[in-house]
Amino acid sequence: MGAGVSVSSRSPHAASEIPRVEVTHERQTAEGLDGERKTVTALFADIKGSMELMEDLDPEEARAIIDPAIKLMIDAVHRYDGYVVQSTGDGIFALFGAPVAHEDHPRRALYAALRMQEEIKRFAERLRADKGLNLQVRVGANSGEVVVRSIETGQHAEYTPIGHSTSLASRLQTLASPGSIAISEGLRKLVEGYFTLKGLGPARIKGTSEPVNVYEVTGIGPLRTRLQRAVGRGLTKFVGREREMESLRHVAEQTKSGRGQIVAAIAEPGVGKSRLFFEFKTTSQSGWMVLETFSVSHGKASAYLPVIDLLRNYFDISAGDDERKRREKVTGRVVALERSLEDTLPYLFSLLGIVEGDDPLAQMDGQIRKRRTLEAIKRIILRESLNQPLMVVFEDLHWIDEQTQGFLNLLAESIGTAKILLLVNYRPEYSHQWNSKTYYTQLRLDPLGKESTDEMLSALLGASPAPATQSPGASQERSAADPQVAGWVRALNGIEDLKRLIIERTEGNPFFMEEIVQAQFDEGVLVRNGTVHLTKPLAELKIPPTVQAILASRIDRLRAVADARRDRPGVRVVAGQARVQRKEE
């Protein structure tokens, strides 16, 4: 560790998207103790009643049960890039979002928790059959701020967090019924929709004055992306982006006339890549077939995930369809498309995990099989584009896996003369090989400009007030000395001050604006009755954890870049928006 975030002041809008990075020496303190504030998700998992479980067992026998269970827990944590802080005799304590920040640490933690329970259940079934033992695990998780630091113990460095939020996670674990996952109200807010949850009601927890609402995580929910979640909440009025929409309309026309196009929208998180595509898609959908897919942040390790998703979408496969139903859907559609495409079926079945009986491709060389699989999907997509123009949307390529990249490269080569519009988006750290293509267009999205920012804030908080003297209700007889009028003017000024503060802090990032405004409503700082009011004098802005997580992961990314460049023991990142975070401390 040893890296610190320092404060820089920059004027709003002058900012380029990418924060400045400065690299400085920053030595570890002599004792090797160094604190860093982070928002993390803590996860505790513990084997239920391990004492009774092992009562009649020889220590070696007990070990043969406990160790594999602990290993399954640790593997699940690592799969989602979590960090195991501690492995006690019969459980683990893990962190997501530290030492390395991940903007989606709450989701990663719960994916890990679900996977852990699934794997443990499978293991427990064997134990029950073989030894008649009943092994169950409780999991608890919570998100919140901690200070993390590494302590040199002499032999090695221990990296541990301090904070109430981890204790709460630990208590939640003890509250979870065996085989289940319990989370806090705070974590629920961050993951609702991405997971299915069951309210367990309020519980008294030692160390907290108020009872806390506890929820059980029961499975994966219907939402996949942040924008889908925003759609659920109600989208803010779409502002700006006229130039980009115009470019998109233009390439769509070219595509329709048989000159396929690739468009890449590039921007930092939250600037509006997904929203731009969403708006374009919904306003120009008629006559098109739209196929959408996206990479997920922990997706690099899973081959073909976005491609599989795209195919499920195309073949209209739903979660409830069993294997036979899936095979029917795929076969039916392929044959209807063109009978000669039947030879693609074994590849599709294999990729979708719906092979019946022995896999006819099992003996095939891996490379050949991969090439033919990609070729098969490409043929289907190209053939489909003869029926009507096709819009293929691939989001968040910065998280793409190698196989999916292979597919995109193949597709990109062959769409120049097809009615296919390939829309991709990604963050600036990603790159590809399509820049030199004549049918490639790049759209670099800047944060929203002054006008669009004002418009968006008006949509979120109400329009700017007219000057006080012309305000409705400020009649001739009433002067600003009238306490009622004075109060009204002050309240309006409050909202205007708030807008200014938000603009300054978010630098035109629409996601940050929405989240900060929403947080003020959640906190009761803002209320809406007809118009929006401030309920208390404006002091500091509370930065919601969703925004903090994005900032923190960006800082860590920059830090890694700086580290690689200078190879120094410590770095300091000066990020325009990092100061948002520091002010909070």
Which of Mg ion, ligand ADP, none does residue 514 bind to, with CB < 5 to 8 Å depending on kind? ligand ADP
Per residue, the 3-state secondary structure of 214-282, as one string, reads EEEEEEECCCCCHHHHHHHHCCCCCCCCHHHHHHHHHHHHHHHCCCCEEEEEECCCCCCHHHHHHHHHH
- Which residue of 273, 312, 419, 505 would you call a contact of ligand ADP, by CB under 6 A? 273
Q: Work out whether 267 is an interface residue with ligand ADP (CB under 6 A).
A: yes
Listed in order, strand segments (DSSP E) in 401-530 are 420-426, 440-444, 526-529
- Strand pairing category for 91-96 and 157-162: unpaired
Cβ-based nearer residue to Mg ion, 136 or 274:
274
Residues 6 or more apart whose CB falls under 8 angstroms from that of 296 comprise: 224, 305, 396, 399
Rounded to whole angstroms, how far apart are CA atoms 466 and 93? 55
- Strand pairing category for 420-426 and 83-88: unpaired
Q: Work out whether 312 is an interface residue with ligand ADP (CB under 6 A).
A: no
Q: Mark the segment that binds ligand ADP (CB under 6 A) among 178-186, 230-238, 311-319, 465-473.
A: 230-238
Cβ atoms of 158 and 140 within 8 Å: the answer is: no
Q: Work out whether 227 is an interface residue with ligand ADP (CB under 6 A).
A: yes
Cβ atoms of 557 and 399 within 8 Å: the answer is: no
Coil, helix or strand at residue 177: coil
Residue 583 Cβ, how far from ligand ADP at the closest point, in Å?
22
Q: Work out whether 518 is an interface residue with ligand ADP (CB under 6 A).
A: no
Rounded to whole angstroms, how far apart are CA atoms 255 and 104? 36
Cβ-based nearer residue to Mg ion, 223 or 361:
223
Which of Mg ion, ligand ADP, none does residue 240 bind to, with CB < 5 to 8 Å depending on kind? ligand ADP
Q: Mark the segment that binds Mg ion (CB under 5 A) among 57-65, 81-89, 265-273, 333-341.
A: 265-273
Rounded to whole angstroms, how far apart are CA atoms 234 and 224? 16
Which amino acid would we find at residue 60? E
Rounded to whole angstroms, how far apart are CA atoms 143 and 417? 50
Which of ligand ADP, Mg ion, none does residue 236 bind to, with CB < 5 to 8 Å depending on kind? ligand ADP
- Which residue of 5, 76, 271, 348 would you call a contact of ligand ADP, by CB under 6 A? 271
Q: Work out whether 509 is an interface residue with Mg ion (CB under 5 A).
A: no
Q: Work out whether 240 is an interface residue with ligand ADP (CB under 6 A).
A: yes
Cβ-based nearer residue to ligand ADP, 241 or 379:
241
Rounded to whole angstroms, how far apart are CA atoms 103 and 62? 39
Residues in the interface with ligand ADP (CB under 6 A) total 21
Which of ligand ADP, Mg ion, none does residue 554 bind to, with CB < 5 to 8 Å depending on kind? none
Which of ligand ADP, Mg ion, none does residue 230 bind to, with CB < 5 to 8 Å depending on kind? ligand ADP
- Which residue of 160, 236, 247, 302 would you call a contact of ligand ADP, by CB under 6 A? 236
Residue 142's CB is within 10 A of a number of other CB atoms, namely: 28
Cβ-based nearer residue to ligand ADP, 168 or 550:
550
Residue 179 Cβ, how far from ligand ADP at the closest point, in Å?
35
Q: Work out whether 458 is an interface residue with ligand ADP (CB under 6 A).
A: no
Residue 257 Cβ, how far from ligand ADP at the closest point, in Å?
28
Which of ligand ADP, Mg ion, none does residue 269 bind to, with CB < 5 to 8 Å depending on kind? ligand ADP
Residues 6 or more apart whose CB falls under 8 angstroms from that of 132 comprise: none
Coil, helix or strand at residue 11: coil
Cβ-based nearer residue to ligand ADP, 42 or 543:
543
Cβ-based nearer residue to ligand ADP, 321 or 446:
446
Sign of the C-alpha dihedral, residues 297, 238, 388, 339?
A: positive
Coil, helix or strand at residue 197: strand
Q: Work out whether 274 is an interface residue with Mg ion (CB under 5 A).
A: yes
Rounded to whole angstroms, how far apart are CA atoms 146 and 162? 5
- Which residue of 106, 510, 545, 576 would you call a contact of ligand ADP, by CB under 6 A? 510
- The site for Mg ion (CB under 5 A) is made up of 273-274
- The site for ligand ADP (CB under 6 A) is made up of 226-227, 230, 235-236, 238-241, 267, 269-275, 456, 510-511, 514
